[in-house]
Amino acid sequence: MHGYHYHFRRSARQVYREIEQDIRSCLLEMILHLDLDAFFVSAHRSIDKTLIGKKVAVGGRSDQFIFQKHQKKRKAMLSNNGAFVQSLFFSKDKKYDSNFYKDGNRIRGIITTASYEARKYGIKTGISIKEALLLCSDLIVLPPDMMLYHSLSHRLKLFLKRNLPVVEQYSIDEFFADCSGYIDDGNVLEYAKWLQSEIEKKFHLPISIGIAKTKWIAKLATSRAKPKGLLLIEDGFLYDFIKDIAIEEFPGIGKAWVRKLHRYKKFTLDDIYNSKALLYSWGRAGRELYDKVSGDFFESLNAHRDRKSIGISRTFDPLLDREEIKRRIYILSRHLSFIMTKLDAHPTTIHLSVKYEFKERSKKDKTLHRVFSETFLKNEFIKLFDEIDIYKHTKIIRLSLSLSNFKTKQIYSLIDYNSDKTLYNLSKNINSLREKYGLDIVKNAIEFA
């Protein structure tokens, strides 16, 4: 094996990976990255043409209905599930007030998405609605409609799967597609234009498409093509493309990498491209980063990407009452349990994160070796909260619960197996009722306290 026999200290997996990279680099590959432009705003425009061309933003407060004590008929939508697409809980109640972001004299909530017309005024994701209205007094602010977004995303995915051989959903508004061997390299740009036109025609959604030999270069190309653009990075033009692009713009380079690279005076992608020895000296992560930037990281698309975790979180007004906090943990646990039962997933790790007002987060994982049930899950999350609540006299503003490490076969505690199995069957029966009559049809007594 020329070029590999002298790497005595490398694992078999590393050698195999390098051989695979070399083989794949010799094959014809063409990856499309499709990213809907200002998706949430565009979704509203798809059903309300009067919003087109106007300064529009979507935003609001984290939904609070989940903690309300009165019953609402709510359902869970799972049809658009993917590794990076969250499950959706929704109510059929649709009461829209143009002043929905006002709480008395206060303006509450943050901007989730802004139209390109609004972005010219400095309005961007993450700023408060109050600040956005100061920047643009005639800004149209709409509340989120997650059912609309999930429905459009799911329909678009089905369309792409009918017209491309391999499609991977990366997020609710992003997709990768591999058209290698399906579309000739010389025709891929025209085909992407056709896709863009068809999506505009069928869904009334603007979309940008990046095209390259690898996923991450294609994704970077899309970011430079927006809005409503197409960008093909051909062989031999990669260096000219990445030259002078800030490292922060590359997908997957987070704050920790930025700090490390800046310490070594690496500020642009061509700085990384010209520093192979340095990046390779940082181990596997450094090698992968270098190969991604240099266009040599060939990663197959995963059309059936499995979830690695499932979570639910809510932000709320600062709250000191620990009994109310525990009530909310029970409610969030109930929703997670419902999703677990629907997906027939069996988690072995639970995670709880608490965010305090003016304080850092407190968080912890716990490994389980018990049969999953709603009762067991709720009790374990309460125990975990008692362990990590280190600032007991400080108000809490956010709770995040998640489950991970799903197994089809587990090692269970034999001592608790019979009682756990009874609770598991009870959970399934209760969730069958919730599936039919809504998630709030059966609640725990503590939820009414």
Region 263-285: mean pLDDT is 96
- Beta carbons of 194 and 216 less than 8 angstroms apart: no
List pLDDT tens digits, range 306-319.
667 788 888 888 99
Res 106: pLDDT: 85
**Sheet with 110-114, side-by-side order of all strands:** 110-114, 56-60, 140-142
364-367: list long-range contacts, CB under 8 Å, 24+ apart: 364/388, 367/405
Higher pLDDT, 444 or 199: 199
Q: Which of 50-54, 249-253, 305-309, 344-348 has the lowest mean pLDDT?
A: 305-309
CATH number at residue 45: 3.40.1170.60
Q: How confident is the model at residue 372 (pLDDT cuts 50, 70, 90)?
A: confident
Dihedral (CA of 69, 71, 73, 75) sign? positive
85-89: list long-range contacts, CB under 8 Å, 24+ apart: 85/150, 85/153, 85/169, 85/171, 85/172, 86/172, 86/311, 87/310, 87/339, 88/146, 88/147, 88/150, 89/335, 89/439
Res 406: pLDDT: 77
List pLDDT tens digits, range 99-151.
778 777 888 889 999 999 999 999 999 999 999 999 999 999 999 888 899 99
| 313 in the same domain as 300 | no
Q: Which of 30-34, 49-53, 92-96, 214-218 has the lowest mean pLDDT?
A: 92-96
| 421 in the same domain as 291 | no
Model pTM score: 0.76
Strand 230-232 with 207-212, pairing: parallel
| 341 in the same domain as 269 | no
Tell me: pLDDT of 286 over 50.
yes
Dihedral (CA of 336, 338, 344, 348) sign? positive
Region 358-364: mean pLDDT is 86
- Beta carbons of 437 and 73 less than 8 angstroms apart: yes
Q: How confident is the model at residue 52 (pLDDT cuts 50, 70, 90)?
A: very high
What single letter denotes the amino acid at residue 316? F
| 432 in the same domain as 387 | yes
40 vs 55, 111, 143, 174, CA distance in Å? 13, 11, 10, 13
- 3-state helix, strand and coil shares in percent for the chain, rounded to the nearest 5: 40, 20, 35
434 vs 119, 128, 134, CA distance in Å? 42, 36, 44
Tell me: pLDDT of 262 over 90.
yes
Phi first, then psi, for residue 406 (nearest 5°) are: -75, 135
| Residue 115: exposure state from Cβ atoms within 10 A (0-12, 13-18, ≥19) | buried
Q: Which of 282, 304, 326 is the last residue of a domain?
A: 304
Tell me: pLDDT of 33 over 80.
yes
Res 74: pLDDT: 58
Q: Does 190 fall in a domain?
A: no
Region 389-412: mean pLDDT is 82
Q: What's the total number of domains in the chain?
A: 3
Phi first, then psi, for residue 267 (nearest 5°) are: -115, -20
Q: Maximum distance among all alpha carbons in the chain?
A: 73
Residue-averaged pLDDT of the chain: 83
Structural domain containing residue 263: 236-304
| 345 in the same domain as 322 | yes
| 348 in the same domain as 419 | yes
CB-side exposure of 66: number of CA atoms within 13 Å?
A: 24
List pLDDT tens digits, range 230-253.
999 998 899 999 999 999 999 989
Q: Which of 145, 161, 176 is the last residue of a domain?
A: 145
